[in-house]
Amino acid sequence: MIYSSFAGITCNHGRRADWLDGLWSRWVRTDEDLRKARRILFDAFPPLPTPQEAFRFQELLAAEILSTEGEQSRTRSQSLKEHLRAVRLYGDALSSTLLSKYSIRQLARNSGKAPHLTGQGNAFQLAVDCARVIASNGIAALLSDLTNVLRNGDLVVCVDPDSPISIECKLGKVKDPRFERQGRRGRQLARLESIHEFLRTGRGVIFGEEKERITVKVAHTPQFGYALVDKLVVSALDHKPLALNPSSAEFYAASILGEVADVQPALEAWKTSKGDHFALGSSLDPLRSGTWPDVPPPILWGISPAARWALMEGDVAISHAMRVEALVGLASGNIRVTSVIDQPGRIPWGYQIQVGDKYLSLSANLVLQVLYCHETVASVGEELLEQAEKAFALFGGAV
């Protein structure tokens, strides 16, 4: 006897019929098919989008995500899961063209898995319709569920790169105002309001946190070492894995997956001192795990198209190390970086900085800009000194 079930047709001893597995597999794309789908998005990506271009590209993203979710309903596949994250990277890239890193960082302050569009039904279509209307009025709107990084609101209206407007789109009836602060909807409202207030004023407590955050604006314009990155990736694509240390501050290695660079000569030439601290990152890290609001996807980097595609796909891996002490000794006026100290955080160190006869400490998170965004060490050093100056002034010298 054969029984039917939600999961498919099963034999009476609980094993799925072989012929049904074959039928399902015809409806699921291969890894090469998925790669071709991502290439379509890569080629269609608008680097400087108008509101209408941004909306049309999001229609492509939505169609691809919905199609993939349909395949996931028929088979469990790690390839499909990874494909969805890779597709949403293009949504992240679009966000970075319309919003500042500062505002993306605030809008990423939420946990949870990437949303399932198919399960939202008409609710997602409502958000799409709203985005279309907003775009037709000359303002770009981002659909948060098409990204990895935008975790608050269904729509982000890009009226200002540093202070966008988040909107929740609901199909249900309007609640009695007495109860709208209850449950999940109440938490969503509280989080959105706290983020908007923080973006508007530059200080506040984000919903779910305890400590007040204060914004310090810096005028620094970052400088990037994209020429070196392009050299590394192009060499790797030519099956010439490369390892080098461009200065006493950094070490690089790059290769196509499956190949290995000879790192020993470059490591031996790297001038380091006993007791130095080192931070290491891989270009694969942002592609494979978590939410990375501070790292714009490689499609936005100033490198060749072949290199951008190779890094978006993870075909080439770049390992990048920095000697944390490289910023010690930097000075501007009466401000000087004196030492590396232990400090909890994403990087477990900070910098002690002397300002006149006083001291303050700042996190070493700027090192991440070097490792993952390839900002130059000199550039992050300038920003660190400016941050110290602004932080010292903010607290009236009471540090």
Q: Which residues, other chains included, contact 328 with Cβ-Cβ below 8 Å and sequence gap of 6+?
A: 337, 338, 339, 340, 351
Output the pLDDT for position 20: 43
Average pLDDT per consecutive 10 residues, the chain (399 residues; last block may be shorter):
28 41 64 98 97 98 97 92 96 97 90 84 93 97 96 93 90 60 64 74 71 79 97 98 94 95 91 91 90 94 98 97 96 95 91 93 94 97 94 66
* Cβ–Cβ under 8 Å, residues 311 and 298: yes
Nearest to 62 by CA among 151, 124, 111, 136: 124
The confidence score (pLDDT) of residue 95 equals: 97
pLDDT score, position 10: 30
Specify the 3-state DSSP secondary structure of 374: coil
- pLDDT value for 183: 58
pLDDT at 232: 98
The tally of CA atoms less than 13 A away on the side-chain side of residue 341 is: 14
Token pair listed for 61: 């993203």
Closest CA to 329 of 389, 279, 253, 385: 385
Distance from first CA to last CA of the chain, Å, rounded? 78
Q: Are strands 213-214 and 203-204 parallel, antiparallel or unpaired?
A: antiparallel
Given a contact cutoff of 8 angstroms between Cβ atoms, the answer to whether 272 and 245 are in contact is no
Contact between 167 and 155 (Cβ < 8 Å): yes
